[in-house]
Amino acid sequence: MNDDQLLRYSRHILLDEIGIEGQERILASHVLVIGAGGLGCPAALYLGSAGVGKITLVDHDTVDMTNLQRQIAHTLERVGTPKVDSVRTAVHAINPDVQFHGLQQRATKELLDELVPQASVVLDCTDNYQTRHLINAACVRHKTPLIEGAAIRLDGQLMVIDPREPDAPCYACIFPPDAQFQEVQCSTMGVFAPIVGLIGTMQAAEALKLIAGFGKPSSGQLQMLDARTMEWSRIRATHNPDCPVCLNNL
């Protein structure tokens, strides 16, 4: 690290859990973020400010006026611009040293198979059930840690999936890919603005813990936040021996 970096990241370096070595691991890391909405915005901002060396962000959408209630990286002046470009501008305003690669497209299986093996960790910041399963399957295939986040109404969810661990549950172990249910989206159901910030920030925190190598990742459990009472509940998740995603990637 140079003198500017030692100053910029001094509050991390002062932490025994991170120090010089942990910050250097963060600087050398590459995080793949899928989704530049309510979860992806705070996650990308904190990853960039913390010094993640490279961030790849995938999102097909453009900034809309309705996004501004909760998607804190976007501004009124950037309505109509690609979300990936808006987040790049916001991250570089904080930390211009971050290598930021934005892809304005949907996350397909082919794209994920290209990007996931390059990443230190993947953050799923999407709101689409099918896309979540595509991301989970790609991370299981390539043995790349995945931080799942979700938020709707006043409820949030967080789950750390680490396919490098033996018998670790994946997303499909808990939520079967062929499950039939009605997709709920904030455009029709609403979402409490701070809940996406809470979950997105925690996704960034779990990613940085994995990268720097400290603490205890919350893998193997589904964490749920009720913003009405600000209470967390946890469900211990176990590997499903009949999980089709895990079976296909033995």
Per DSSP, the three-state class of 105 is coil
Task: Please name which of 114, 159, 153 lies closest in space to residue 134, comparing C-alpha atoms.
Answer: 114
Q: Given the DSSP bridges, would you call strands 221-226 and 121-124 parallel, antiparallel or unpaired?
A: unpaired
Per DSSP, the three-state class of 225 is strand
How far apart are alpha carbons 189 and 210 in whole angstroms? 33
How far apart are alpha carbons 83 and 70 in whole angstroms? 14
The amino acid at residue 6 is L
CB 225 within 8 Å of CB 153: no
Task: Please name which of 89, 94, 176 lies closest in space to residue 130, comparing C-alpha atoms.
Answer: 176
Annotated catalytic residue, options 125, 173, 186, 243: 186
Residues 6+ apart with CB under 8 A from 93: none
Q: Is 186 designated active site?
A: yes
Which helix H or strand E contains 195, and what residues bound it?
helix 193-212
Catalytic residues, which ones?
186
